[in-house]
Chain A
Amino acid sequence: MDNFSQLWPLLYRALLETALMVSISIFFAVLIGLPLGILLYITQHPLLFKIKPLNATLGWLVNIIRSFPFIILIVAIMPFATWLVNASHGPVFASVALSIAAVPLFARLVESSFNSVKDGVIEASIAGGAPIYLIVTDVLLPEAKKSITQAITLTIISIIAFSATAGVVGGGGVGDLAIRYGYYRYDTLTMIVTVIVLVIIVQIVQWAGDFISNRAEER
């Protein structure tokens, strides 16, 4: 590609694809990863809901998914993803794998966010006769709000990074554009522009995340 006007339609489309993949994946990462992270935390906490076998099973499952290289994960779950979204390529299809990769990542981040909540506060809540669900909603989540916001930021950025690989299944996106045009076709202009765009996206996400998490703390 010689000039930007040729690149622009491709880039625009890639941006939309990235936005779609990130939105779907972060939605499911939070929807499933948050309860999973809560479960991981409370099943190991002696004052809350300690069930060693359940905690070990969940931890094991999370570790297995997290140890898959992303590209292998995509291929491995292809039949499942095809069945689930009734398609075999495209950003929605790629989002299945992205979500599956993001859920355990986010769950672990949530779990470690709760580790920063002081045990004393949990102890005081137990001593006050609070049920576990109330401790989760009124103690753990508000106390860990800042660090959970940071976990969401980090997960979004990881999804953006993963999504470059999503090109394998025709997922598209900015990262895929960089690889297909910039790398395979030695198209320097595309390469430079896409990398700059990715840097800008990541910066914006990080900045927005920091802004929100600081506000969460100041309240």
Chain B
Amino acid sequence: MSIQLNNVSKTYHLKGRNVEALKPTSLKVETGEIFGLIGYSGAGKSTLVRLINLLEKPSTGTVTVGDDNLTELSSKDLRIRRQKIGMIFQQFNLIESKTVYENIEFVLKASKYNKKDVPARIEELLNLVGLNDKSSINAANLSGGQKQRVGIARALANNPDILLCDEATSALDPDTTKSILNLLKSINRTLGITIVIITHEMEVIKEIADRVGVMSAGEIIEIGDTYNVFSHPKEEITKDFVQEIYNFEVPSQIKETPENQVITIQFLSENAEENYLNQLYRDFELSISILNGRIEYIKEKPLGFLMFQVSGKVEEIERLKTHIDNSHGIERVGYIG
């Protein structure tokens, strides 16, 4: 189900001061896609995701999910509608005094799910998230990853068509993050649920998001296909996020001169795995030494970066640069390093 935000904004009134957490923003999330929002803390991404199920009331604008304009629903209708919009949280937010089973049962009670079918539904959900043996364990006694799995089971209990993820993996270690992301991916694929995920971690976006929006100071400053946004970042903050996964820095002992330069190139998609360097060694009379290199897979498409130092005649270096610029699928990047 699609989500349409139309000119929504959020302003908080704090001690006579107005704080604009979200500037007027329009956004469409398509049915069945995984849409990621990345930004540093305070960028307004948490506000934005809470506007989708109206945990925060927008100061202006409308929120439409499927055919329903949520901003116009009565509070009772909104409550019923929310049962079809699942949400998971950074701190999991389980009822700690209750068992795994009771935590899921809670939202089924909320939707007046047919009592007879509740045990079977819970078993089905626990199977889906891989916790079938944990049904009677107290939520307080689970590990972080297990808690988030219960959170996911709870969010999916009433067959929602949308799943909102609020920093869902930020409190988890890298391995657990991976497994939760894989679970979300498979839920998206098998159940066709539209997922909106907000995070400050590039790892999450590159793993899972079909499209990404980069947020800063209460607005979406860049938006598009994840691969395109990260292979051709326009805004400084987006570049910072890309830099964050590649973690490239020019070693401090290298002094750049016209005869001795550091060049960073980027290989796109199909070229990323090709051996481009051999050709450079062969065709140019330069000493080329590799400083750093890495291929990342963004939504399973490779994006490679290579940083190397070239030294030799200035003209030869210029010839090399022109050669790179004319190569298909290879680009020099200025912002890294």
A in complex with B: yes
**Which residues does A use to contact B, with CB under 8 Å?**
47, 118, 120-121, 123-131, 134, 138-139, 142-143, 145, 217, 219
10 smallest beta-carbon distances between A and B, as pairs: A129-B83, A124-B93, A130-B110, A129-B82, A120-B93, A127-B87, A128-B107, A142-B97, A121-B93, A129-B79
Contacting A120 at CB < 8 Å: which of B91, B111, B154?
Answer: B91
Count of chain B residues with Cβ under 8 Å from any Cβ of A? 31
Q: What's the Cα separation between A219 and B109 when bound, in Å?
A: 22
Chain A proximity mask over B83-123: 1 for CB below 8 Å, otherwise 0: 10111010101111110001000110111000000000000
The reply to whether A118 and B93 form a contact with Cβ atoms under 8 Å apart is yes
Q: What's the Cα separation between A59 and B81 when bound, in Å?
A: 34
B216 within 8 A of A: no
The reply to whether A120 and B95 form a contact with Cβ atoms under 8 Å apart is no
B47 within 8 A of A: no
The reply to whether B97 and A129 form a contact with Cβ atoms under 8 Å apart is no
The reply to whether A127 and B110 form a contact with Cβ atoms under 8 Å apart is no
Within 8 A of A (CB), among B265-301: none
Q: For A140, give the chain B residue with the smallest CB separation.
A: B95
The reply to whether B89 and A124 form a contact with Cβ atoms under 8 Å apart is yes
B254 within 8 A of A: no
* 12 further contact pairs, Cβ within 8 A, besides A124-B87, A124-B89, A129-B80: A120-B89, A121-B95, A124-B151, A127-B85, A127-B87, A128-B87, A128-B107, A128-B155, A130-B109, A134-B110, A142-B95, A143-B96
B55 within 8 A of A: yes
How far is the CB of B70 from the nearest CB of chain A, in Å?
12
Q: For A138, give the chain B residue with the smallest CB separation.
A: B106
Contact of A123 with B95 at beta-carbon distance under 8 Å, contacts A128-B83, A129-B111, A129-B158 already known: no
The reply to whether B95 and A139 form a contact with Cβ atoms under 8 Å apart is yes
**B87 cross-chain contacts in A, Cβ below 8 A:** 124, 127-128
How far is the CB of B127 from the nearest CB of chain A, in Å?
20
The reply to whether A123 and B111 form a contact with Cβ atoms under 8 Å apart is no
**A124 cross-chain contacts in B, Cβ below 8 A:** 87, 89, 93-94, 151, 154
Find the residue from B81, B102, B106 having the highest chain A CB count within 10 A: B106
The reply to whether A134 and B106 form a contact with Cβ atoms under 8 Å apart is yes
How far is the CB of B153 from the nearest CB of chain A, in Å?
12
B53 within 8 A of A: yes
A-B contact pairs, 25 of them (CB 8 A): A118-B93, A121-B94, A124-B89, A124-B93, A124-B94, A127-B85, A128-B86, A128-B106, A128-B107, A128-B110, A128-B154, A128-B157, A129-B79, A129-B82, A129-B107, A130-B106, A130-B110, A134-B106, A138-B95, A138-B102, A138-B106, A139-B95, A142-B95, A142-B98, A145-B97
